[in-house]
Structure 1
Amino acid sequence: MQLFQEFREFAVRGNAVDMGVGVVLGAAFGGFIDSFVSDILLPPIGVILTKMNFENLYISLSGGTFVSLAEAKAAGAATINYGLFITASIRFLLVLFAVFLVVRQINRWRKPHKSPMASLMKKECPFCCMPIPKPAVICPNCSSTLTEEGIEKPPRWHIK
């Protein structure tokens, strides 16, 4: 019973739900990009490059000559399908670029004061001049107590 309760807590935790949504959206986005590359992007490129179909670019390892990749596969010939590899590479680059654009836009939408990195921003200790985290109230380097105005009380052992 406790195992089920732990699993339920894990499943409804924000990170697991976010990851699940991301996987579903990624699969849908992958289908969209596949269709975009195969049906819209590569046909005009194939026409420009002497009317070739990227899916029919292959090397037959069995020595036979075939009109298309489908014919070679039907004959049972071993082939290196470099046209399919080119298509997959273009799909990958498009997905990579799209993810870059999405992450870039999300980073622009974030408020600087709500960013997790904002709390790690550095300030300088007015006593020892070492960089310390902004929210620090005691300098980890010289043990000075910091206030809004500067140093409240230097450490007792420190010699001026």
Structure 2
Amino acid sequence: MGLLHEFRQFTVRGNALEIGIGMVLGAAFSGFIDSLVTDLLLPPIGLFFSKMNIDNLFISLNGQTFPSLSAAKEAGAATINYGLFFTASVRFIIVLFAVFLVVRQLNRWKKPHQHPLDSMTKKECPYCCMPIPSQAILCPNCSSELTTDHEDRWRRKAPKWKMK
């Protein structure tokens, strides 16, 4: 399974542990990620796009032209700050990817027998084909007696209402 495929699955499913870890990491790395994005990643991108400051990209809604976002804010102009939104989006994706890497590693360290729901695994009843707990010796759906011994499969008893 590829890294990008796992990342996509991580972003789609919702797990309380993963969300909690994400919140803690997001709070802890906020300053670090902010500096990484604004001081290291966005300046080369701004240089690539004609020496502009990405944070300073905005659209003035009143039709006036301002030299910078701070000048527009001082004038009290309503603005759409798409540069700040882009910066926040890059920060979010970096935090999300860092959380994904941590949770991915935690899931690799977790041993399969340590999962609390392992005792609740399901199997299929051979008579009614309904899912039942794997430890069941009596099907709750059709009342068939089930044995756990694979060699005694022929000794299973069908419910009395099925027999004629």
What does residue 28 of structure 1 align with? 28
The within-5 A match list for 1:4-153 is 23-149=23-149, 150=153, 153=157
- CA distance, structure 1, for counterparts of residue 94 and residue 24 of structure 2: 18
1:139: how far off? 1.2
Unpaired runs of 5+ in structure 1?
Answer: 1-14
1:6-57 deviation line (CA, Å, top 9, x unaligned): xxxxxxxxx9xxx6x8755431123322222112211111112222111110
Give the conservation status (yes or no) of the 8 Å contact 2:61–2:78: yes
Unaligned ranges ≥5, structure 2: 1-15
Structure 1 residues 64 and 127, CA gap change in structure 2 (3 angstroms): closer
Corresponding residue pairs, total: 142
Q: % of aligned pairs identical?
A: 66
TM-score, normalization by structure 1: 0.71
RMSD: 2.7
Q: CA deviation at 1:90?
A: 1.5
If the length of structure 2 is used for normalisation, what is the TM-score? 0.69
Partner of 1:132: helix, strand, or coil? strand
Note the C-alpha offset of 1:85: 0.9
Shift in Å at residue 75 of structure 1? 2.7
Q: Distance in 2 between matches of 1:53 and 1:27?
A: 26
More moved, 41-50 vs 68-77: 68-77
